[in-house]
Amino acid sequence: MYKVKSYLKNQASRKQKVLLRKLILGSAALIYGSVIWAHHSHANFDMTLYTKLEGRVKEILWINPHIWIFIEVVDDNGKAVQWALESATPIQLAKRGVTRDTVHEGDMVSVRCHRLKDNANGCLLGYLTGRDNVERLWD
């Protein structure tokens, strides 16, 4: 009789542990999922228009959560101006065939991007055409 009671108690204990694990994992998924989703807002960019730029790549930062490309563009007054272009994640770009060899510092590129709403020299990078003259999606 003692073995039966002990067995039933252990079974209840296992079920409680499984239920508790599911509750903890589900809560964590909800909390972190909402944080990740909130991070990817494009509210600070004008998503209704593309800004077209041509310039020389000054720096590329292959980092998570977004790759950053800094290009030097000559403005209408002949002055060199730096622009910061925010791209997708390295994993997203790899799935599209974009690698570290696609574009290098010093390359001339043309881009179509969504400019910051405050008109600062920053964009959410949409498309980039590099030295191979192939336009690729970078967002």
Say yes or no: domain 51-137 is CATH 2.40.50.1010: yes
Q: How many CA atoms lie within 13 A of 65 on its CB side?
A: 4
Q: Which amino acid is at 99?
A: T
Express each pLDDT in 1-41 by its tens digit.
556 556 556 665 676 655 546 555 555 555 544 444 445 67
The residue extents of the domains of the chain are 1-39, 51-137
Helix runs in 2-112, H state only: 2-39, 90-95
Q: DSSP letters of 76-95? A: TTS-EEEEEEE---HHHHHH
Q: Mean of the per-residue pLDDT values for the chain?
A: 84
pLDDT at position 38, please? 47
- What's the CA gap between 118 and 105, in Å, rounded? 27
Share of the chain above pLDDT 90, in %: 67
pTM, to two decimals = 0.71
